[in-house]
Structure 1
Amino acid sequence: MNGGPPDSDDRQQSELKFYYNRDRRLQNAPESVRNAWEQGYLPKNRGFLRGLVGNPGSRSIFIAIVILSALVVALTLLDGGSASVRDGTFEAKLKAFLYGESVFVTLNCTDSPDRTDTFTVQFQALDADNSVVSYAEVTGIWIDGSLAVRNVFTDYQIKAVRAAFIVHGRTLEVLATVDRS
């Protein structure tokens, strides 16, 4: 070993020096770290709401979830593109939407399952001034207590569709605005 390169073990022993002092580091550490070291790690029971809004990232995700949930509820309750009417066991729902250059209209009806007669619906397409721009009379047949009557109008700036029909001896009307989205 005289004059030659030092042995690898000798080099490692001579180069490794530790200056770590745990007590001195704990004196400079925050109080929460000192308490965790002395008492052991005890996580706080932060609660459900504090966990959701504890930091800015969680808070923004929580707010986005609340806004989207409110939007879904509002759209469900305020369904503007359809209208419905009910008379005893009879229920009808009218929907109208624009696709291309045509307005598609659907009247979905439900009634008692023993009903098998024909059902005539008079559709009227209305413009912004509520004047009739197109008219159609469609007949459907009840199958197992349900009926779907459909019609297509060419779009002449139709704003709403009115459906008139006779149920249980009474004339009922349903008015639905055209969904243009």
Structure 2
Amino acid sequence: MAYDLLNLSNLGLTSEDLQELMPIIKKKLPNLGGLDLSNNRLEELPNVFGQLPNLRQLNLSDNRLEEVPEWIYYLGKGWLDELNLSNCRLEGLPVTNYERPWYVRKLDLGYNEQLIELPESIYYAFSLEELNLEGCELEELPITGHFIPNRMPLLKWLNLNNNQLDCLDE
């Protein structure tokens, strides 16, 4: 039996022990706004998200991702409301720059213990309002120049609990 999922707006596949994306996600889901793939065993992300033009919320927390592909910056026509990459195995984020900024309002990178320095691409997330870096192993955080407030004028909430910070670098 074939299902028409063109009107599907949210999809949750948490705790399903997924190692790869299911065929349902590889289909075109033009109205999907929220996708929760948390608490699985995903190690990589194939580029199927171009088929999700209206995606605004993506939860990939508690997976085995060591890196995320560059196309993650262009999800939802280049604008994400929430991206949760907490408790993965991330060592950083793909490089971007001033000519190619990315737009995400809420970013959770908490408990990625391999993260010892702030990924440079964070500096180009100009619309960022909430940033969770709790439980990473950050050793320093520049607060002038690139970071706060010059590049993140909208930042309202920043969680730096449980890191290895000795001081905020000026």
Q: TM-score range with shorter-chain normalisation?
A: under 0.3
Q: Which has the higher contact order (CA 8 A, sep 6+)?
A: 1
| Higher Cα radius of gyration | 1
With the length of structure 1 as denominator, give the TM-score of the two structures: 0.22
User: Which is strand-richer, 1 or 2?
Assistant: 1
With the length of structure 2 as denominator, give the TM-score of the two structures: 0.23
User: Which is helix-richer, 1 or 2?
Assistant: 1
